[in-house]
Structure 1
Amino acid sequence: MLNSTMKKTFRAALAIVCAGTLMSGTAACGSTSSSGGDKVALLVSTLNNPFFVDLRDGAQAAAKDLGVDLMVSDAQNDSSTQQNQAQNAQSQGAKAVIINPVDSDAASPAVAPLLSSKLPVISVDRSVTGEDVTSHIASDNVAGGAQAADELAKAVGEKGKVIILQGTPGAASTRDRGDGFKKEIKKYSGIEVVAEQTANFDRAEALDVTTNLMQSHPDVVGIYAENDEMALGAIQSLGSKAGADVKIFGFDGTEGGLKAVSNGTMVGTIAQQPKELGKKAVEAAVKAIKGESVEKTESIEVKTVTKENVADFQ
């Protein structure tokens, strides 16, 4: 395994390689759908997550329909890499930039120079703290968190100890999903949140975090994971206890999450519409390029998925 110094060195080298490949017109660190139209850059936090793969696919489909050249870059969950990719997008002649920030609080250095250059910037799924972007498009994560709280409370009989697996620190989606859940769960006096810990929206991290938290709190009856990948990691950690002794609720409505709901290892998930997010982001970018008015914020509906209705989403 790589130690922390080696990882930093690798990431720095990768950022340089990405810069070189983008400048030479290749797409080793992303992909380009060439149509001969205006260039739009899509900066994705990570493509190592099925949700963001779907978001990219929706954006690419919309770009094809609208005749624009979509340049996709994968930051691999590194804010410094994403900042370099934003600079490269501008030098490559992008007429608009869509950013899905790695970290909302750390995205300003990537976005501020673009806005200063009067380049339209669309944030998608996660906002950019402190910057007045052209448009922000996201799911209603607060409402989704509240829906998850109600469903998990019902599943555990409105009593017992629960833990929260948090997403990436600083990400707006992490804050909103957590705030929505915690505010709603307070309505259930018999439920106590005994621990909250980040697993960075990552399945492997969630496996380890869940194992450690369950050792400290062996009587936990419910887990709220702020995305399906972490919920699936919790399932791996719990084994046969998942869905039986410990009820797990996720967020995103990914293919893996829906399968877990169907087989009963997850109580439910909050289904987002990642392809719709990608589509709406490209549509907003194209409107902004043309000088047309765009919605300052656009909220995409989320839906509660349980075993009763999961077939409707598969």
Structure 2
Amino acid sequence: MSKRKSTCAVLAAVALIGTVTGCGSDSGKAGGKGSVKLGLALSTLNNPFFVEMKKGAEAEAKSAGAELSVQDAQDDASQQANQIQNFTSQNVKSIIINPVDSDAAGPSVKAANNAGIPVVAVDRTVNKAEVATTVASDNVSGGQKAAQALAKELGEQGSILVLRGQPGTSASRERGKGFMSAIKKYPGIKIVGKQAANFDRAKGLDVTTNLLQSHPGVTGVFAENDEMALGAIKALGGRAGKDVKVVGFDGTPDGFKAVKKGTMHTSIAQQPAALGKMAVRNALRKVEGSDPEAQIKVPVVPVSARNVEKYS
């Protein structure tokens, strides 16, 4: 598909999201019987991406006349399990979960199911439990696009580092799967270091600093989110964007600033606010008796200096 057609497809999908999230603004009022109570369990609010997701969810809930309670697990799976249990005991009509760990979330989601409370997963899947739908970015496709962008910038030659996200999350697995499947098509590019940095900027700095001691001649870095990419950029110092090309994932405001500055070559941009809106919208649909699709994919797009002004 040509770049022009690909861009048009993404814009069409974004327009569709706007249409879906904007319709039926009285849905949360449940036929005038009072506002519907929803619970939103986020993995962390110490990350701009999830702050934007929260804003999108709150905006959609307000538009629909629903009451949304938001909890921050601070990247602690046990704490998140307790939060889901609390939502269940409070008899909310639906729970939206952005899992800290896709496996660890299973038992508490099962308990909610047993209590007759439908659960919507957002950004990350839940394993070994039933959810009404999973609203997520197309992470596999995004990982492939990251590999293609990095390979093109490197001239299909070089050595790279890969910073993995939070172990156990579907987002990390899917982005890694997409990236690895695509980077194999460029035999001139070698992965010399790969390590988890938990989607965290400070850990991205520490991990990159340590990896550079063993591999000082790297020419590229792929980080599974912008926060880790920004940590890697700090570790690289003046080499970032010059001797070493950095590709991130998320499309956060700070990521876009780095793209504009030239220290990050590309960010695979998600739409966190749209993810939050779609999660709330489909939770309300389930409450009303409709069955949303099993998976709802929100498109991603590579953002570089060429188009950053448009998306930022």
Q: Give the AA of the match of 1:236.
A: K
CA distance in 1, matches of 2:232, 2:213: 13
Which residue among 247, 256, 259 is the counterpart of 2:257? 259
Output aligned runs, 1:203-242, within 5 Å.
203-242=201-240
1:276 alignment partner in structure 2: 274
TM-score normalised by structure 2 residue count: 0.88
Q: Deviations over 1:235-264 (max 9, x none)?
A: 111110101111100000000000000110
CA distance in 2, matches of 1:95, 1:105: 23
Shift >3 Å, 4+ stretches: none
Q: Give the AA of the match of 2:92.
A: A
1:46 lines up with 2:72 in the alignment: no
2:86 alignment partner in structure 1: 88
1:311 alignment partner in structure 2: 309
Q: Give the AA of the match of 2:261.
A: N
Which residue among 150, 154, 157 is the counterpart of 2:155? 157
2:186 alignment partner in structure 1: 188
TM-score normalised by structure 1 residue count: 0.88
Q: Give the AA of the match of 2:112.
A: L
Structure 1 unmatched runs, 5+: 1-35
Q: Give the AA of the match of 2:100.
A: V
Q: Are 2:148 and 2:182, in contact at CA under 8 Å, matched by a contact in 1?
A: yes
Q: Give the AA of the match of 2:200.
A: D
2:170 alignment partner in structure 1: 172
Q: Give the AA of the match of 2:54.
A: R
Deviation (angstroms), 1:137 = 0.5
Q: Deviations over 1:36-78 (max 9, x none)?
A: 5111000000000000000000000000011110000000000
Aligned residues: 280
CA distance in 2, matches of 1:171, 1:235: 24
Q: Are 2:40 and 2:68, in contact at CA under 8 Å, matched by a contact in 1?
A: yes
Deviation (angstroms), 1:145 = 0.3
2:136 alignment partner in structure 1: 138
1:114 alignment partner in structure 2: 112
2:75 alignment partner in structure 1: 77
Which residue among 96, 99, 113 is the counterpart of 2:97? 99
Q: Deviations over 1:138-192 (max 9, x none)?
A: 0000000000000001111110111100000000000000010011000001001
2:56 alignment partner in structure 1: 58
2:296 alignment partner in structure 1: 298
Deviates more, 1:171-180 or 1:112-121: 112-121
Q: Deviations over 1:91-150 (max 9, x none)?
A: 222110000000112111221100112211000000001122111110000000000000
Deviation (angstroms), 1:296 = 1.1
Structure 2 unmatched runs, 5+: 1-33
1:129 lines up with 2:95 in the alignment: no
Q: Give the AA of the match of 2:298.
A: I
